[in-house]
């Protein structure tokens, strides 16, 4: 049967079987965690070299570097506008539906030890520290640590230098072009294990946390999931439509990668696939190489929605009053801190802790209230982040004149 051979169906089946296994045999489900972890580690191992080769080849072969500067500037403008919209949407939903009202949790009864690691990491998220963090300790340290922003910085510098060499740099350019094809081939081989990884990750999630955690904070989860859905289909749908794209066709194009994100609760596992699909649909390779990695750090729409909802949920749950002015202040802080933990493991929680510590009014220990369901919330965050970057890449590519509309129409059709 042809359907059985498609990655989309295999990953969907893996998610379903893994969820059933974790629900009915939780002990066994928890033991399957290494399947998902191993797959995520394999993909992350390949992301750095893929970004490096793609960005360098794109910049070196671009010729006029002013064009690359325009791509970067327009991408940053787009990212800032859309993520600000996401923060505002989350703020409005939290005020309208008040998911934390009625819990009456007190800081003294919260388990501060369970979130100590996140609060400690949050202390190093100042603006100066964040900027200095962009510079890796050594050239290879960025690849060893897997920091996307550091890899992107090195890639841009290397690509600019190679561009200046002209014909003298042609042998290096040709070599990197061939190397990038090898790495994408490796991704194709690793992706064959995606159904198994999705099954293991989903079995662990339900086995570890169970349905009980869902019922305890169902109101918060419902708010996050519905808000992300509205943002995707209304806000991103409108942006795509104004740029001449159909969101429905975009989702159909990236459906395999979307299920991979759902199964592993990580948008990074689908980054190589997204880059390949964006080139396939007509976006210029240099543009894809710049926008997608930068978007994974600066265009996190789902994370922005989560941050405002979670912050106000904790304020409501701990009976911490917040005036409109204080909420706008929180929004201003989030405009900065939401970009501060890019590339850091557990960035959602770390950024939330840093934000609460900066505002001073909401107890930081309150993040312990949502620790148990964060794994479920991360799926909504990851899916929204991923779709947001797919739409953003297409929109900025068309804005910059780097989109092949004829090729794109054929692929999307």
Hey, what's the torsion of the CAs at 290, 294, 299, 300, to 10 degrees?
130
- Residue 52, judged by CB atoms within 10 A of its CB (0-12, 13-18, 19+), counts as buried
| Residue 348 confidence class, pLDDT cut points 50, 70, 90 | low
Per-residue pLDDT of 162-212, as tens digits, reads: 888 878 888 888 888 888 888 888 888 888 888 888 888 888 877 776 665
Hey, what's the torsion of the CAs at 90, 334, 109, 223, to 10 degrees?
10
- Residue 89, judged by CB atoms within 10 A of its CB (0-12, 13-18, 19+), counts as buried
Instruction: Give, for 103, the enclosing helix (H) or strand (E).
Output: none
State residue 239's pLDDT score: 95
Q: Which DSSP string corresponds to 312-374?
A: HHHHHHTT----HHHHHHHHHHHHHHTTTTTT-TTHHHHHHHHHHHHH-SS-GGGGGGGGGGH
State residue 391's pLDDT score: 94
pTM for the predicted model, two decimal places? 0.82
Phi, psi of 403 (to 5 degrees): -110, 130
Of residues 300, 314, 268, the one with CA closest to residue 94: 314
- Residue 30, judged by CB atoms within 10 A of its CB (0-12, 13-18, 19+), counts as middle
User: Is the pLDDT confidence value at 394 over 90?
Assistant: yes
* Domains of the chain, earliest start first: 2-412 (1.10.3860.10)
| Residue 63 confidence class, pLDDT cut points 50, 70, 90 | low
Q: Is 117 left (phi over 0), alpha (psi -120 to 50) or beta?
A: alpha
Kindly state the average pLDDT of the residues 140-151.
78
Of residues 67 and 254, more confidence is placed in 254
């Amino acid at each position: 049967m042809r359907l059985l051979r498609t990655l989309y169906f295999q990953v969907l089946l893996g998610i379903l079987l893994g969820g059933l296994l974790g629900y009915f045999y939780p002990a066994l489900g928890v033991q399957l965690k290494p399947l998902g972890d191993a797959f995520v580690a394999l993909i992350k191992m390949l992301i750095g070299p893929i970004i490096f080769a793609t960005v360098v080849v794109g910049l070196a072969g671009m010729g006029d570097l002013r064009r690359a500067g325009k791509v970067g500037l327009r991408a940053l403008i787009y990212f800032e506008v859309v993520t600000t919209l996401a923060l505002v949407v989350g703020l409005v939903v939290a005020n309208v539906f008040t998911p934390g009202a009625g819990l009456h949790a007190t800081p003294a009864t919260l388990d501060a030890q369970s979130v100590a690691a996140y609060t400690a990491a949050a202390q190093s998220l100042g603006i100066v520290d964040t900027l200095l963090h962009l510079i890796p300790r050594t050239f290879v340290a960025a690849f060893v640590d897997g920091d996307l922003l550091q890899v992107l910085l090195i890639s841009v510098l290397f690509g600019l230098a190679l561009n200046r060499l002209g014909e003298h740099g042609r042998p290096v350019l040709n070599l990197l072009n061939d190397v990038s094809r090898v790495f994408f081939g490796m991704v194709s081989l690793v992706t064959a294990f995606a159904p198994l990884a999705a099954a293991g990750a989903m079995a662990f999630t339900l086995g570890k946390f169970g349905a009980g955690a869902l019922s305890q904070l169902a109101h918060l989860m419902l708010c996050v999931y519905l808000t992300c859905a509205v943002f995707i289909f209304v806000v991103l749908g409108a942006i795509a439509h104004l740029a001449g794209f159909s969101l429905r066709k975009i989702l159909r194009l990236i459906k395999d990668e979307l299920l991979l994100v759902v199964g592993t609760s990580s948008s990074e596992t689908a980054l190589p696939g997204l880059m390949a699909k964006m080139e396939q649909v007509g976006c210029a390779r240099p543009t894809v190489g710049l926008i997608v990695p930068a978007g994974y750090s600066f265009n996190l729409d789902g994370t922005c929605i989560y941050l405002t909802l979670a912050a106000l949920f904790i304020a409501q749950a701990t009976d911490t009053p917040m005036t409109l002015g204080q909420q706008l202040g929180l929004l201003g802080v989030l405009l900065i801190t939401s970009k501060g933990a890019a590339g850091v493991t557990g960035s959602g929680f770390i950024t939330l802790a840093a934000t609460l510590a900066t505002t001073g009014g909401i107890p930081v220990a309150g993040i312990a209230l949502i620790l148990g369901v964060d794994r479920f919330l991360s799926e909504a965050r990851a899916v929204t982040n991923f779709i947001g970057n797919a739409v953003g890449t297409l929109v900025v590519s068309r804005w910059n004149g780097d989109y092949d509309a004829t090729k794109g129409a054929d692929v999307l059709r």
